[in-house]
Structure 1
Amino acid sequence: MLFSETTLPAPLLAAVSAYGYRELTPVQQQVLPLALAGQDLLVSAQTGSGKTAAFGLPMLAGFIGQTPADGAIPKALILTPTRELAQQLATHLSAFAHGSALRVMAVYGGANFRPQRQQLQQGVDVLVATPGRLFDHLSQDYLNLGQLQCLVLDEADRMLDMGFIKDIQRLQKWLPAQRQTMLFSATFPPAVRQLGLEMTQQAQWVEVAPDHSGASIDQQVLLVPKQRKAELLAELVGKHNWQQTLVFVNTKEAATRLGAELMLDGISHAVFHGDCTQGARNRALAGFAAGNVRVLVATDIAARGLDIPALPRVINLELPVEAEDYVHRIGRTGRAGLDGEAFSFVSPQELPQLQRLQQALGVQLAQSTPAGYEATAPLPERYRTGTGAGADNTARRTDKKHPRHAPRAQARFSKTARNGTHRKPQR
């Protein structure tokens, strides 16, 4: 189905066309007519399925022609778990609202409170917020939700994981009884299901089957000794001149260690995890999206919601514990009809975990061993002497003469290789 065949107002159709959207995704086909009719909805759909347009376009359609907001009295509130997702939603909705008088803004923690308050007072029609900062504004009476027409809870299962469910439940006292409510969640555990029933009235259930196949994503498993994962990553980036690679690890400590390893190899990178300041996170994402950063090392905080246009590849330096997290991670690539590739670095010790992952997803991933990384290959000198950094020990360099430049097994990169042209061994 084409967007031009829907009943969306002309300004929205023009904005959608300018945005590059032509055909509706499955979730949009199911949600759009129900949302346009004002129906409360409980929607099970994966990240990357087109949810933002599914709830955003009908929501904006209802506001076109209404008097613009006067002060901090929004017509719609979208609650989302993370700052980055709040920023992205606001960006997308602002693009959809282009050409109308509707004003969209985001409020989130980690940013200065006062400018947000001042912007709210200037008027906002659609407010995107994280729970903590939303309650900061509500508790100080800087925000009035008494005229809210539409409430959207996005990534509800993620908000449950982050402990926001009770905050959302107590939000009820600020909300008008008559409103449209739409709840979106990748999964519906009992707590999320109960929350949905509490927040909605006679809601329609919409379930879009998750695509675990990663049909537009070439998925491969690279078998590599655990301590040589960082070495392999650096070699692939240089050998193939990769300019934009998102690398997932499981912990903040692992992200920091890998960042140190990439720095020693002269590969431009940024680290993205929950302990980074908001400014650092913004700079990391901006640099990566602009192509100024070749490798973004991230924990699962980046697995949900982040929309990096035309991201060519994702690497799981460490396998996630849950199959669902694997789907979210690789879902950062292969978006909007584009192809992508996902590599998982798996050590012999992780093969049982890989098997469980494949069984949960119902897939069999192609496996290969990169040349020089076979189990029988001799370890480089620095691993034999215990000075290797690797994926587990990145920060510890004990070469006495050159503590920050211990030799690598597979050759260092020349200056031209680090700048992204070609790679040759330094002699």
Structure 2
Amino acid sequence: MGYKQATPIQAQAIPHILESKDLIACAQTGTGKTAAFLVPTLSKIAEAKFDFTSTLILVPTRELAKQIDDQVEGLSYFTGATSIAIYGGNNAQNWDQQKHALTSGADIIIATPGRLIAHMQMGYVKLDQLKYLILDEADKMLDMGFMDDLMKIINQLPKERQTLLFSATMPPKIREFARKILQQPEEISLSISKPAANIDQQIYLVYDQQKLKLLQHILKDAEVQTMILFTSRKSAVNEIVRALQKMGFEAEGISSDRTQDEREATLQKFRNKQLQVLVATDVMSRGIDVDNISHVVNFDVPQDAEDYVHRIGRTARAGTKGMAITFVNERDQERLVKIEKLIERELPKLTLPEAVGESPAYDPVGNRSKFSRDKGGRGGSRSGGGPRREGSTGGSGDRNRSQKPRGERPAAAAPAGERPSQANQATGTPTSATGEVKKKKRRKKPFRPKNTEGGTSSAPATPAAE
């Protein structure tokens, strides 16, 4: 697999895992966390020769589930260990394949919480002998509203097990969650919320109408090999892709609106260097490992400062160099201040090329007051009153825990006829599904909090599997 020397997180985590201790580990993205838990766990599976499902790995997104499954396949080549990725967004045939793997007892299950619960509700998932529970990108799962689903799954697992929690950040809610599910854990913390030192971070202050012209200038003048461009609004993905294609660049987009097959095909083309630019929402910001990404562009500033760290962590991986460029409009200047506070450094604000025009003044305090007045005290988090931003958490604190991502419901995961008692859930409507309820939902829609990958959220329901 090309591993020659353990990274710091691997060197510290592997001994604890081999000693069967619970572990809470925090390290920045791109530091080798996946191998840190896979290598020792596969070693234990190979020695024990279990004839049942011994390991459950829970992750927030489909892409991460698929990537970990691929790594298991490579690392377990000589162990005979079997694995299956369980996630939504596929057809009835995939459901049947997942059901077969769950009933036949694959050694390792890698799953998104919503999809796993859909299978568990069918009654054939047997995890009563589970030995190892691993939660990867735990902070992202909690941000996406998966707390209830996680606890529902964990409460059905054996109390006597080894639990490993890996996270890129360590906010208080993660520590509280860890206290509930881990027993006397060892703790590892490495470079929390700090981008890699070899990322050249640059800021451009721009008006929204200047962004595409500036992007064209960067693509023509910089030595861009491969670039991921992040936008917080999934509605903007296709617009940006079309604009790039008109400029003559090979570009495609990934968002929750595309099918899983389409997303995987686009990602594979990007890995094969058939695309110069991949336009993505924050579905691509966590755990996705693509080699030799030379540039990351933030077309807008993410709502959460920690998401900035995850986005730009797609470049300069494994000790290489990379460049991260962020476009900051007037409304987003306050968010930039929070990012600089988090990473404990001021980022250089570059002068716009003459052909692009004049930059707006850098005045975070004044702009905050200005846009708060414009929105009647609601702040100015959206550019130009556009669509809600995909990937936003809709605020902080306790409100986050109640927000549920819209999208796949557990009932929608099963083929027609398998779950007639929950048919209404497949459409995302309340159980009563009356016309009056639908009208009420339409009237409330503009006032729903912003949500993570998957758009706005409806009334509290089981979170969807990415």
TM-score, normalisation: structure 1? 0.78
Deviation at 1:318, TM superposition (A): 0.9
Q: 1:367 Cα deviation (Å)?
A: 2.8
Structure 1 match to 2:248 = 266
For residues 70-102 of structure 1, the C-alpha deviation after alignment (integer angstroms, 9 at most, x for no partner) is: xxx311010001000001111112211121211
5 Å-filtered alignment, 1:45-56, equals 45-56=27-38
Tell me the alpha carbon deviations over residues 3-44 of structure 1, each in whole angstroms, 9 at most, x when there is no partner.
xxxxxxxxxxxxxxxx22222222222211111100011222
Q: Name the count of aligned residue pairs.
A: 360
Report Cα offsets for 1:303-337 as digits up to 9, x if no partner: 11111122111011111222211110100111111
Bigger CA radius of gyration: 1
Which residue pairs with 1:156 in the alignment?
A: 138
Q: For the structure 1 residues 359 and 193, does the alpha-carbon distance in structure 2 shift closer, same or farther, using more than 3 Å as the test?
A: closer
Distance in 1 (alpha carbons) for counterparts of 2:171 and 2:338: 21
Task: Give 1:17-416 correspondences, 5 Å limit.
Answer: 19-67=1-49, 69=51, 73-111=52-90, 112-210=94-192, 212-240=194-222, 242-347=224-329, 350-369=332-351, 370-375=353-358
CA distance 1:270–1:126, shift in 2 (3 Å): same
**Is the CA contact 1:68–1:101 (under 8 Å) kept in the aligned structure 2?**
no
1:187-242 alpha-carbon deviations (Å, 9 max, x no partner): 33343323212212222222223262531111122344421211221333244463
SS in 1 for 2:317: coil
- Distance change >3 Å, CA 118–CA 372, structure 1 → 2: same
Counterpart Cα distance in 2 of 1:221 and 1:30? 35
CA distance in 2, matches of 1:204, 1:99: 30
CA distance in 2, matches of 1:209, 1:74: 34
Distance in 2, Cα, partners of 1:302 & 1:189: 21
Name the SS for the 2:148 alignment partner. Answer: helix
CA contact (8 A) 1:148 1:176 kept: yes
Question: Any conservation in 1 of the 2:201–2:323 contact (CA below 8 Å)?
Answer: yes
SS at structure 1 position matched to 2:166: strand
| Contact kept in structure 2, 1:257 and 1:393, CA below 8 Å | no
The answer (yes or no) to whether the contact 1:77–1:126 under 8 Å persists in 2 is yes
Cα distance change of structure 1 residues 197 and 360 upon mapping to structure 2, 3 Å threshold:
closer
**SS at 1:127's partner residue?**
strand
Deviation at 1:348, TM superposition (A): 5.4
Structure 1 counterpart of 2:316, which letter? G
The answer (yes or no) to whether the contact 1:270–1:284 under 8 Å persists in 2 is: yes
Aligned-residue sequence identity (percent) comes to: 38
Most deviating of 236-245 and 89-98: 236-245
Provide the rounded CA distance (Å) in 2 between the counterparts of 1:129 and 1:233: 37
2-structure distance, mates of 1:167, 1:393? 33
Bigger RCO of structures 1 and 2 (CA < 8 A, at least 6 apart):
2
CA distance in structure 2 between the partners assigned to 1:88 and 1:171 by the alignment? 22
Could you tell me which amino acid in structure 2 is paired with residue 373 of structure 1? V
Aligned partner letter, 2:71 = H
Where structure 2 has 5 or more consecutive residues not aligned to the other structure, the ranges are 361-382, 387-466
The offset of 1:368, in angstroms, is: 2.1
RMSD: 2.3
What letter corresponds to residue 88 of structure 1 in structure 2? Q
Distance 1:123 1:360 in 2: 44
